Structure 1
Amino acid sequence: VCFRLGLAFKARFSPKQKVIVRRDRSLGGKEVIVGTTRDHHHPRTNSSALDNPLSLSATPPNLANKTHYPRLHVRHELPKWWPQQLPQRNTASVFDSEYYQTKANRLIKGSFFRNLSTLFPAIIDNRLGGKDFSEEDIIQLRQICRASGVRVSIDTTNTRDSLYRAAVELVLNVCCRASINSTNVQIDGEDAREFLAGLAENIGLDNIRASRMVSAGVAARTRFCFLQAWAFEMQSKHTEAVSELSKICLIHGIFPPGKSSPEMEMVARGLEKILKVEQRELLMATVVGYCNCSEEIRTSAAEALG
């Protein structure tokens, strides 16, 4: 009896708690208890847990001020293949910058006449119409900006990124069509790496972000070529399989992924779910035996195969 009286006495003079209720739409608007709060006359002394998990205001100010979390500094660097400096073209005395600026903007947002006879649709208009970016549009945009030094402004980030990804696909397609022993693939008379770096500058895309898109494109193409090569091997088309693997060596020679790159690691994780160990070993043996590539390229190919 005394014990019960003690509990009742303690409950009477203990800090009062108020129930915090919220309506849950997923339960049809029913009220749900989400926590409790003590009366303001009895401040909170235990900071190990919150009475109301949805509120952070109950954290003591002195604790918040004394808590310091070390910042993680992520180092962002451009890949080694990214051009340090683009060639400077002194064309100010030949080209009218204002004229070419207007021409480039119309290529992006409006339309203009080419060769005074053919209506050339704008890149953005085509995109809004459900059409993909054409290689001709991208090459001409880079040609105008390279010759005059002008830049274009694209309204939305998604459209700008989509345009650049299409340019990456264009460059990779040209690389795949080049001869096996090619070391310098050009787009409209310009080195492929300078083409992508220059286009990123022309459309106002950050170099770090642009290089990541290129690395992602190289990884996707690497995965595709490995799977295509194995499909040819299954059909006993060894020559075609070697051709697909040679494309990987060529692309990795122009845009080397770098040692232990996260992109190649993701490719390896994806291929592990599709190809068996002996199948991947066969592809790697084909790369070593038939593709005339450097040790660095063989290493990146091995990392992609896991």
Structure 2
Amino acid sequence: MNMTTSCSSSSSSSSSSSSPRLFATKSQIYKAPLLSFSTPKRRRSRPRRNRKSNGSTFDLNDGNVLTISTSSSAGAEDQSLSLTLDVHRISALATSRFQLFLDSGKDAFSDLQTLIALDDNRRIVVSCRKSTMQFVGGVVLLGFVFGVAIRVLVKLGSAFKGNFQGKPKLVVRRDRSLGGKEVVVAVDNSRSSSSSIAPGQVSRSNSVPTNLKLRAQNNLPKWWPTSLPSQSLEVDREDYQREANKIVRAIVDNRTSGKDITDNDIIQLRRVCRISGVQVSIEPANTRDSFYRTSVDFVLNACSRAPWDSSSVEICSEDAREFIAGLAENIGLAKIDAARMVCAAVAARTRSWFLQAWALEIQGKQSESVAELSKICLIHRIFPPEEYSAEMEMVARGLEKLMKLEERQSLLKTFVGMCCSEESQRSAAEALGLVHS
């Protein structure tokens, strides 16, 4: 029995060692022993940021460029926050990025040089690398963002500056060029400036509103005729219209060929339009304005040749004022524009005659100097400038630079002695800059 059993056990052991084992029980699974230097993987727990303990520290390091740490000392309730910025690291990083950008630019430039090529089959081939397209797109996008950022910063800066500026104080003075109206001449932003102003000036500035605006005068001068006399004659308007158009064509042709407008053309056009009541159109507008300025000079020349004590001057049996106003209506020129041209021409003549009168005074030609001043008296009587007019203001500024105060006072004294019109004396004083408001 014993022998049989040992034989069977030895045979079974030999058979098991010779043939592979296909199945294994759970108790036979091999497990490697845990060594001292191998540890099982565990999930990392997030550091607690708000840990209240003596001497606790929390560090956040971003690639050795930015370090943020919080710590609380013993016996202190509030934590301290420290931020460390490595400038050298940033400089090195920026330099490397910039060098990378330059290298990308050089590669893109060299690639764009061979953007268009011709192959062996004589076909045009357009090809570039993907990195080149990315570089070009990045440059365009960066430029757009940079431009928008600059625009936003400029707007924010202007808004920020406007919010910190206080309400300005307006300095008001009377302007003779606007009929003596009070206008804003300066802006005073200092709050303590009122203490340095004279009491009279303070009371004067406080008596006017602060929202004054400079407005241009669009009123016609007083000498402009309110209505023009109408002709009661019954004439063939078509024939007169053709005649007026013929005169206009001749004027335009003369201007085109470089010829001057004659006095006869002005007189004939006004006569035809006044008799029939027709109107003409002179194109372009520059030619029309030039024609009217020439007409104004013709009228002023006619007035200057009249006796200086004349109360009115007639041109072709028509008053000079009605002649020049009617001519503006005949050619379709606005009344306010025509009046401005007349006032400007009167101012130019006034300045020229004053200078000529003083030149003759220096030469000892007293009678001729008085004759020049008499022309001013006559012109200012027929076309009187408005009080505190802008034209006389400009004349005064020009004469103040060319003549001394004593010289201008001497001319005004001579002018007052020979011209009895108070209105002409007032306008002459304004032209010489001897009227102080």
Task: Report the TM range for the smaller structure's normalisation.
Answer: 0.7 to 0.9
Figure out how many residues of one structure are paired with residues of the other and give that number.
Answer: 251
Query: 2:240 matched to 1:100?
Result: yes
Instruction: Give the Å deviation of 1:181.
Output: 0.9
- Segments of 4+ in structure 1 off by > 6 A? 43-46, 69-72
Q: 2:148 aligns with which of 5, 27, 37?
A: 37
The aligned counterpart of 1:229 is: 357
| Aligned-partner SS, 1:37 | helix
Q: What letter matches 1:244 in structure 2?
A: E
Q: Deviations over 1:197-221 (max 9, x none)?
A: 1000000000000000000000000
Instruction: Give the Å deviation of 1:293.
Output: 2.5
User: Which of these two proteins has the greater Rg computed from alpha carbons?
Assistant: 2
TM, length-normalised to structure 2 = 0.54
Q: Deviations over 1:63-111 (max 9, x none)?
A: xxxxxx99865441100000000001122x2x210111011011011xx
Q: Distance in 2 between matches of 1:20 and 1:189?
A: 74
The aligned counterpart of 2:229 is: 87
Contact 1:230–1:241 (CA under 8 A) maintained in structure 2: yes
Q: CA RMSD in A?
A: 2.8
The aligned counterpart of 2:164 is: none
The aligned counterpart of 1:4 is: 85
The aligned counterpart of 1:160 is: 288
| Aligned-partner SS, 1:269 | helix
Identity %: 55
Q: Distance in 2 between matches of 1:148 and 1:213?
A: 26
The aligned counterpart of 1:66 is: none
Q: Distance in 1 between matches of 2:353 and 2:326?
A: 27
- Note the residue ranges of structure 2 that are not aligned, 5 or more in a row: 1-65, 67-82, 91-140, 160-210
The aligned counterpart of 1:60 is: none
Q: Distance in 2 between matches of 1:296 and 1:48?
A: 55
Q: 1:5 to 1:264 in 2, by over 3 A?
A: same
Q: 1:228 to 1:20 in 2, by over 3 A?
A: farther
Instruction: Give the Å deviation of 1:38.
Output: 3.6
Q: 1:173 aligns with which of 295, 298, 301?
A: 301
The aligned counterpart of 1:65 is: none
- Note the residue ranges of structure 1 that are not aligned, 5 or more in a row: 9-16, 22-34, 51-68, 110-121
Query: 2:329 matched to 1:201?
Result: yes
Q: Distance in 2 between matches of 1:224 and 1:268?
A: 12
Q: Distance in 1 between matches of 2:343 and 2:285?
A: 19
Q: 1:188 aligns with which of 312, 316, 336?
A: 316
| Aligned-partner SS, 2:230 | coil
TM, length-normalised to structure 1 = 0.75
- For CA contacts below 8 A with separation 6 or more, give which structure has more relative contact order: 1
